[in-house]
């Protein structure tokens, strides 16, 4: 029996790992099925990995310990698979990092389950029931069984509950285990858990009520407070937002503080109570058994004395379960019950332990064996029933994704709105995650590198946005001649987006046609495309990071165009690559583009990154003809559009050429008129034309 038990101790964790890998395979990519809150935690995990805690913008749970853990996982994945900088690799390959983080959390879960088996085995090498009941805790309920397909704090809360179960086991079942040790360890654990998600707070009562000494309860509460405080230290100045969010939830009857301004919607509350019970029938049977055993123990003085700690646990378990039941019924999602559901194993074990000591009968062991088998069987049965219901839906979603991946590739824009609903690509998840990030422009370089063709809709009265939420130039987008794709579902604001695009196109005299290129009529899901019915197109796109020179001349990044003028290259401050251009008192003008074949009516967008500009600095990004006094072609902007991260500024000039330039030529350059040194990088020019219409008279 000892040999079999030892095999179980080490075999069940491997079984858990295999199961989690299997359901990850069934669930598919995170971006296609579960971005909320996965991508928000990935993005803030990156903030933590970089040590940039001021950039954390997600503090709803608060969630900080899980963000810190995600940051650690990110570094581990990067150490084995990373290319380029950490930020570049995470933003470019978010699915790799979410999958890697989930895999590392899987191994952590397996280690906890191995630890559970070992402490039971070392307490009693013949306790097969104890090993099975404790180590199979994740398999006793369909909610907990399916949770490892996610990467969210509730999954971590389930692991915390398993650790709590192990601590409870040692305190109750291991003779001589110090109450002070249990109080401190459980306090620190629960403090971190509460900082991870406030819904774990009721479970603080379990050690508090199980502990017999007032002094130990003090240590427990102190541990919770200390660990909780440390857990939220990175967002201590933002806890006011968490407080306000909790107040909205408490005073409104919908999810996340939505709904009407009442504490409780009685009809919805009663319906949710019913749904929770139906989804967790096995757990409520365990809860009922715990109540029966508690009554059995309390009705006899001898049993009360022999099983005092177990009785205290049952009281705490029942009380906490009912509190969680009520709280989740007000703000309902199935996996919100995960913390208390994950205690099913220890509750069953202590139930079995009490009864087996009072009535030594093989029939009791058989009954518990049958009960355990039934719980595990019906959990798996429920999971596969739910999975089967979603097979067709996931298949259709993947078909649409594959079509979109092929169709939208190339010279097209992808227009999306940040939402918790999954979209067609990982870009949808990244946009959602970025919406929970402060100082978004600090990541401008990486998002421009990986996703230059993504544009974002936020509001009808504002311009479209580039990925890091700085304003796009609608006129440039619409006159580029490129297709614009968007994903339409019943829950999205597709109608408002279409009205917005058509209004903007009319404002700039751009003729667009709307097509439905892919449809799933039964699910009301469509891929829409705006294509041009006019002759607007991108005539020229050229950029220079000041990296390539030839015979003393600066070249564009493709090596095909020479920039005019002298320059002083520098490695001191660089936005991209290895070099920038430095302007100072000896050289105040940047190398410039000489653009030929420029016609009246052409539209230009020019962008440049600059470092070292001070408030009130006098500078100009200029488009000029060779003889502006003759043709009046001299356009300049002296304002920064947006911060671009790490002290760099984005400067943009967008303009229509209103008169024919001399020799059909313009030069584009940057001037700095103040003292001090300025560094320039990422100098780009786009020229758009509407064919013959560009030379027509007004």
d(CA 24, CA 242): 31
634-642 long-range contacts (CB < 8 A, ≥24 apart) are 640/610, 640/613, 641/470, 641/471, 642/441, 642/444, 642/470, 642/471
User: Which residues, including other chains, have CB under 8 Å from residue 15's CB and lie 6 or more apart?
Assistant: none
Reported as a single tens digit per residue, the pLDDT across 138-149 is 999 999 999 999
Predicted pLDDT at 692: 57
Of 591, 615, 565, the C-alpha closest to 681 is: 591
Q: Helix H segments across 197-265?
A: 205-210, 214-231, 239-251
d(CA 372, CA 377): 8
Rounded (5°) CA angle 50-54-57: 100
Structure tokens at 150: 């996610």
Predicted pLDDT at 443: 93
Spatial contact of 605 and 473, defined as CB atoms under 8 Å apart: yes
**Residue 694, CB half-sphere, CA atoms under 13 Å: how many?**
24
d(CA 330, CA 254): 8
d(CA 630, CA 628): 5
Spatial contact of 103 and 294, defined as CB atoms under 8 Å apart: no
Spatial contact of 687 and 597, defined as CB atoms under 8 Å apart: no
Predicted pLDDT at 693: 43
Predicted pLDDT at 476: 95
Q: Is the pLDDT of residue 698 over 60?
A: no
Reported as a single tens digit per residue, the pLDDT across 547-593 is 999 888 999 999 999 999 989 999 999 999 999 999 998 899 999 99
Predicted pLDDT at 696: 35
Instruction: Give DSSP secondary structure letters for 398-460.
Output: HHHHHHHHHHS-SSEEEEE---SS--SSHHHHHHHHHTTBSSGGGGHHHHHHH-TTEEE---T
More confident residue, 671 or 362: 671
User: Which residues, including other chains, have CB under 8 Å from residue 598's CB and lie 6 or more apart?
Assistant: 657, 661, 664, 665, 666, 687
pLDDT > 90 fraction of the chain, expressed in percent and rounded: 76
Structure tokens at 696: 């027509």
- To the nearest whole number, what is the mean pLDDT of the chain? 92
The alpha carbon dihedral of 589, 591, 597, 600 has a sign of negative
> Tokens 């130039």 belong to which residue?
473
Spatial contact of 609 and 546, defined as CB atoms under 8 Å apart: no
Reported as a single tens digit per residue, the pLDDT across 317-370 is 999 999 999 999 988 888 999 999 999 999 999 999 999 888 777 788 888 889
Reported as a single tens digit per residue, the pLDDT across 205-246 is 999 999 999 999 999 999 999 999 999 999 999 999 888 888
CA-CA-CA-CA torsion for 564, 565, 566, 569, nearest 10 degrees? Answer: -40
SS3 102: helix
Reported as a single tens digit per residue, the pLDDT across 451-504 is 999 999 999 899 999 987 889 999 999 999 999 999 999 889 999 999 999 999
SS3 331: coil
Predicted pLDDT at 359: 76
Structure tokens at 69: 């853990």
pLDDT > 70 fraction of the chain, expressed in percent and rounded: 99
d(CA 112, CA 110): 5
User: Which residues, including other chains, have CB under 8 Å from residue 484's CB and lie 6 or more apart?
Assistant: 412, 413, 414, 415, 455, 477, 501, 512, 529, 530
173 φ/ψ angles, rounded to the nearest 5 degrees: -105, -15
Of 360, 306, 370, the C-alpha closest to 132 is: 370
Q: Kindly give the pairing relationship between strand 678-689 and strand 666-672.
A: unpaired
Query: How far is C-alpha 5 from the geometric centre of its chain's CA atoms?
Result: 40
Predicted pLDDT at 695: 38
Spatial contact of 632 and 662, defined as CB atoms under 8 Å apart: no
User: Which residues, including other chains, have CB under 8 Å from residue 25's CB and lie 6 or more apart?
Assistant: none
Q: How far is CA 128 from CA 5, 145, 154, 334, 636, in A?
A: 6, 22, 29, 31, 80
Reported as a single tens digit per residue, the pLDDT across 643-659 is 998 999 999 999 999 99
Structure tokens at 584: 């100072």
Structure tokens at 300: 């006899």
d(CA 59, CA 238): 8
């Amino acid at each position: 029996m000892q040999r079999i038990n030892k095999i179980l101790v080490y075999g069940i964790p491997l079984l858990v790992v295999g199961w989690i890998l299997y359901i990850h395979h069934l669930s598919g990519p995170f971006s296609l099925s579960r971005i909320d809150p996965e991508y928000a935690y990935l993005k803030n995990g990156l903030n933590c990995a970089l040590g940039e805690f001021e950039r954390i913008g997600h503090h709803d749970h608060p969630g900080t310990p899980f963000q810190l853990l995600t940051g650690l996982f990110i570094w581990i994945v990067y150490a084995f698979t990373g290319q380029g900088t950490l930020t570049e690799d995470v933003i470019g390959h978010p699915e790799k990092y979410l999958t890697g983080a989930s895999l590392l959390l899987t191994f952590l879960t397996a280690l906890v389950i191995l630890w559970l088996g070992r402490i039971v085995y070392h307490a009693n090498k013949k306790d097969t029931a104890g090993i099975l009941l404790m180590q199979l805790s994740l398999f006793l309920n369909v909610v907990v069984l399916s949770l490892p397909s996610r990467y969210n704090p509730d999954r971590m809360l389930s692991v915390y509950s398993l650790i709590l179960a192990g601590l409870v086991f040692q305190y109750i079942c291991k003779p001589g285990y110090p109450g002070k040790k249990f109080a401190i360890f459980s306090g620190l654990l629960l403090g971190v858990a509460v900082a991870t998600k406030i819904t774990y707070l009721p479970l603080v009562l379990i050690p508090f009520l199980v502990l017999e000494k007032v002094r130990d309860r003090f240590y427990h509460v102190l541990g919770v407070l200390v660990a909780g405080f440390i857990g939220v230290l990175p967002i201590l100045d933002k806890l006011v937002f968490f407080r306000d969010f909790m107040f909205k939830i408490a005073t409104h009857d919908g999810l996340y503080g939505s709904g009407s301004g009442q504490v409780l919607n009685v009809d919805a509350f009663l319906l949710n109570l019913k749904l929770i019970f139906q989804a967790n029938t096995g757990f409520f049977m365990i809860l009922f058994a715990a109540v029966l055993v508690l009554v059995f123990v309390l009705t006899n003085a001898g049993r009360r004395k022999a099983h005092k700690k177990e009785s205290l646990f049952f009281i705490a378990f029942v009380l906490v379960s009912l509190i969680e039941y009520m709280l989740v019924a007000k703000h309902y999602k199935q996996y919100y019950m995960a913390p208390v559901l994950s205690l099913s194993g220890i509750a069953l074990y202590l139930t079995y332990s009490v009864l087996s000591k009072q009535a030594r009968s093989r029939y009791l062991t058989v009954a518990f064996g049958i009960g355990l088998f039934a719980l595990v069987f019906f959990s798996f049965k429920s999971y596969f029933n739910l999975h089967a219901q979603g097979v067709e839906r996931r298949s259709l979603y993947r078909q649409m994704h594959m079509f979109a991946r092929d169709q939208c590739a190339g010279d097209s824009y992808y227009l999306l709105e940040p939402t918790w609903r999954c979209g067609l690509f990982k870009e949808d998840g990244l946009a959602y995650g970025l919406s929970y990030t402060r100082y978004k422009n600090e990541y401008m370089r990486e998002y421009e590198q990986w996703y230059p063709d993504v544009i974002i809709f936020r509001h009808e009265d504002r311009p479209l946005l580039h990925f890091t939420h700085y304003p796009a130039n609608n006129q440039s987008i619409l006159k580029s001649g490129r297709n614009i794709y968007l994903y339409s579902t019943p829950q999205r604001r597709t109608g408002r987006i279409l009205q917005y695009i058509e209004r903007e196109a009319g404002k700039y005299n751009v003729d667009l046609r709307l097509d439905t290129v892919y449809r799933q009529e039964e699910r009301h899901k469509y891929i829409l495309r705006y294509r041009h019915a006019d002759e607007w197109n991108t005539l020229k796109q050229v950029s220079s990071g000041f990296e390539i020179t030839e015979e003393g001349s600066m070249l564009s990044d493709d090596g095909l165009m020479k920039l005019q003028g002298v320059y002083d290259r520098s490695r001191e401050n660089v936005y991209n690559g290895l070099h920038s251009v430095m302007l100072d008192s000896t050289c105040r003008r940047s190398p410039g583009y000489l653009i030929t074949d420029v016609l009246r009516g052409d539209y230009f967008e020019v962008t440049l990154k600059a470092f070292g500009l001070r408030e009130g600095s006098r500078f100009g990004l200029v488009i000029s003809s060779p003889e502006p006094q003759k043709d009046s072609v001299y356009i300049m902007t002296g304002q920064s559009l947006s911060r671009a991260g790490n002290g760099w500024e984005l400067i943009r000039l967008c303009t229509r050429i209103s008169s024919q330039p001399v020799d059909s030529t313009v030069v584009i350059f940057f001037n700095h008129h103040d003292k001090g040194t300025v560094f320039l990088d990422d100098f780009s020019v786009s020229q758009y034309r509407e064919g013959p219409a560009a030379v027509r008279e007004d």
